[in-house]
């Protein structure tokens, strides 16, 4: 832990100076204009927030600290979190240090299991997961530091403590949600010899004779790590954190946004859509059957899950990474083959439909079929996997914002009559 903290401590003064002088010299320059359509349309494209951990150029997809996500697929999640926070991949020594640090912090307080077991049996796994995070808010080191009056310039240190304490526990909590919610038997103890992602797979308890499921999960945890600052979950985390709420409040709040069907829940919806086509047509549908099914979905006023994106305008490189994994490990699996067929057909249908600005698949289009193939069949659980990974992005963004001392968020809203007055109509 000393290492990640030391590296951040070395970087933060320079980062603060850079932002301070940028604001001093250019603070009144205009970086974005807002149209009425944008004000009513989810602020799409308005450049009004900062995120230094990652970026999503529409024609390239996710860059984590300028590195294309496709070049990071062999990395461990620990390396990704380090990269998000520090801007560079860790050395072998730094990596070992972070792994050991996670191990020390991994024990989940007993009351978390009590709360989980007391929740209604039909609770959504995301509601269970978010509740576990929220209930641990009493552990916050930031709150203790804030109440004891530490200086604003030191807020990031206790935020790092909270982030590490929280992230270290997420694999056990997420695995516990799976086992309790889907009646899989007793909780499985962590294996002190395994890394963060490896332990998650171990504690889920899914049979993995070839080790391919573990490889898939490692890929999954890497690919979902972050996606710049304006998506619902990142923005919600950011907004909550700007009030100096601690990481437990901010991350659980952000994950509640991830649980929406237009965001992270799309992976559950997408697999269910794919399985529906297979059930209806007795296996992999033909081109004509799938085209008709896609049109039926659109004509009933629904979206095709896993397709479209608010920022991306090309096939999501994270979808490509999952597709390459499937082509290598399970090309003949019927669900994966149907996902491939959907990829052949749906972009053409969406183009003809003419509404979606991006007819290409996003990250949620293919991941479910792979999980399903390896025996993780409870698809309401899929967004929890997304959440475990995305918590790394949320924590790193919170940490960086707190380190440079961002202001509380407070954009100005207007009533519809006031907008009319403003526009002179």
Q: Does 241 bind ligand CMX (CB under 6 A)?
A: no
Q: Does 356 bind ligand CMX (CB under 6 A)?
A: yes
Which of 202, 224, 238, 309 is an active site residue? 309
Q: Hey, what are 22's tokens?
A: 């940028």
Q: Hey, what are 69's tokens?
A: 């996500």
- Is residue 263 part of the annotated active site? The answer reads yes
Q: In whole angstroms, how close is the CB of 13 to ligand CMX at the nearest point?
A: 35
Q: Does 342 bind ligand CMX (CB under 6 A)?
A: no
Q: In whole angstroms, how close is the CB of 278 to ligand CMX at the nearest point?
A: 19
Instruction: Select the span of 71-79, 213-221, 324-332, 355-363 touching ligand CMX (CB under 6 A).
Output: 355-363
Which of 124, 227, 235, 263 is an active site residue? 263
- Residues 56-75 close enough to bind ligand CMX by CB under 6 A: none
Q: Does 79 bind ligand CMX (CB under 6 A)?
A: no
Q: Which is nearer to ligand CMX, 62 or 403 (CB)?
A: 62
Q: Does 229 bind ligand CMX (CB under 6 A)?
A: no
Q: Does 228 bind ligand CMX (CB under 6 A)?
A: no
Q: Which of 152, 280, 328, 355 touches ligand CMX (CB under 6 A)? A: 355
Q: Which of 22, 23, 48, 262 touches ligand CMX (CB under 6 A)? A: 262
Nearest residue relative to ligand CMX (C-beta):
308
Give the number of other Cβ atoms within 10 Å of residue 203's Cβ: 22
Q: Does 357 bind ligand CMX (CB under 6 A)?
A: yes
Q: Which of 266, 274, 290, 400 touches ligand CMX (CB under 6 A)? A: 266
Q: In whole angstroms, how close is the CB of 42 to ligand CMX at the nearest point?
A: 7
- Is residue 238 part of the annotated active site? The answer reads no
* Burial of residue 103 (number of CB atoms within 10 Å: 0-12, 13-18, 19+): middle
Q: In whole angstroms, how close is the CB of 62 to ligand CMX at the nearest point?
A: 11
Q: Does 306 bind ligand CMX (CB under 6 A)?
A: yes
Q: Does 321 bind ligand CMX (CB under 6 A)?
A: no
- Is residue 309 part of the annotated active site? The answer reads yes
HEC string of the chain equals CHHHHHHHHHHHHHHHHHHHHHHHHHCCCCCCCCCHHHHHCCCCCCCCCCCCCEECCCCCCCEECCEEHHHCCCCCHHHHHHHHHHCCCCCHHHHHHHHHHHHHHCCCCHHHHHHHHHCCCCCCHHHHHHHHHHHHHHHCHHHHHHHCCCCHHHHHHHHHHHHHHHHHHHHHHHHHHHHHHCCCCCCCCCCCCCCHHHHHHHHHCCCCCCCHHHHHHHHHHHHCCCCCCCCHHHHHHHHHHHCCCCHHHHHHHHHHHHCCCCCCCHHHHHHHHHHHHHHHHCCCCCHHHHHHHHHHHHHCCCCCCCECCCCCCCCCHHHHHHHHHHHHHCCCCHHHHHHHHHHHHHHHHHHHHCCCCCCCECHHHCHHHHHHHCCCCCHHHHHHHHHHHHHHHHHHHHHHHHHHCCCCCCCCCCCHHHHHHHHCC
Q: In whole angstroms, how close is the CB of 351 to ligand CMX at the nearest point?
A: 11
Q: Does 264 bind ligand CMX (CB under 6 A)?
A: yes
Q: Does 328 bind ligand CMX (CB under 6 A)?
A: no
Q: Which is nearer to ligand CMX, 100 or 262 (CB)?
A: 262
Q: Which is nearer to ligand CMX, 143 or 388 (CB)?
A: 388
Binding-site residue total for ligand CMX (CB under 6 A)? 22
User: Which residues are identified as catalytic?
Assistant: 263, 309, 364
For ligand CMX, the binding residues (CB under 6 A) are: 44, 231, 262-264, 266, 298, 303-310, 355-358, 362-364
């Amino acid at each position: 832990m000393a290492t990640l903290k030391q590296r951040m401590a070395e970087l933060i003064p320079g980062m603060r100076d850079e932002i301070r002088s940028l604001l001093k010299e250019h603070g009144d320059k205009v970086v974005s204009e807002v149209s009425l359509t944008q004000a009513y349309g989810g602020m799409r494209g308005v450049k009004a927030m900062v995120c230094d951990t990652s970026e999503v150029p529409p024609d390239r997809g996710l860059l984590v600290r300028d590195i294309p996500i496709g070049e990071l697929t062999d990395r461990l999640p620990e390396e990704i979190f380090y990269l998000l926070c520090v801007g560079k991949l860790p050395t072998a020594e730094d990596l070992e240090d972070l792994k050991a640090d996670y191990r020390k912090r991994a024990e989940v307080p007993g009351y978390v299991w009590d709360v989980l077991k007391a929740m209604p049996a039909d609770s959504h796994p995301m509601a269970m997961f978010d509740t576990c995070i929220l209930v641990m808010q009493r552990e916050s080191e930031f709150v203790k530091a804030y109440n004891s009056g530490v200086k604003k310039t030191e807020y990031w240190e206790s935020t790092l403590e909270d982030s590490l304490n929280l992230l270290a526990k997420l694999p056990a909590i997420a695995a516990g949600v799976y086992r309790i919610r889907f009646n899989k038997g007793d909780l499985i103890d962590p294996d002190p010899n395994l890394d963060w992602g490896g332990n998650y797979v171990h504690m889920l308890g899914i049979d993995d004779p070839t080790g391919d499921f573990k490889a898939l999960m490692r890929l999954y945890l890497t690919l979902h790590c972050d996606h710049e600052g304006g998506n619902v979950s990142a923005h919600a985390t950011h907004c909550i954190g700007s009030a100096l709420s601690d990481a437990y409040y901010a991350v659980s709040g952000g994950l509640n946004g991830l649980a929406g069907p237009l965001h992270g829940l799309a992976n559950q919806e997408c697999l269910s859509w794919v399985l529906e086509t297979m059930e209806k047509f007795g296996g992999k549908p033909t081109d004509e059957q799938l085209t008709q099914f896609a049109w039926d979905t659109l004509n009933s006023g629904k979206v095709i899950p896993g397709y479209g994106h608010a920022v991306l305008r090309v096939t999501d490189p994270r979808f490509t990474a999952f597709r390459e994994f499937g082509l290598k490990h399970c090309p003949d699996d019927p669900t994966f083959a149907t996902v491939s067929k959907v990829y052949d057909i749906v972009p053409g249908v969406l183009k003809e439909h003419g509404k979606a600005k991006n007819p290409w698949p996003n990250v949620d289009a293919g991941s479910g079929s792979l999980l399903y193939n390896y025996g993780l069949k409870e698809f309401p659980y899929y967004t929890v996997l997304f959440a475990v990974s995305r918590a790394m992005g949320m924590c790193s963004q919170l940490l960086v914002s707190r380190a440079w001392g961002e202001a509380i968020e407070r954009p100005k809203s207007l009533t519809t009559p006031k907008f009319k007055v403003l526009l002179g109509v």
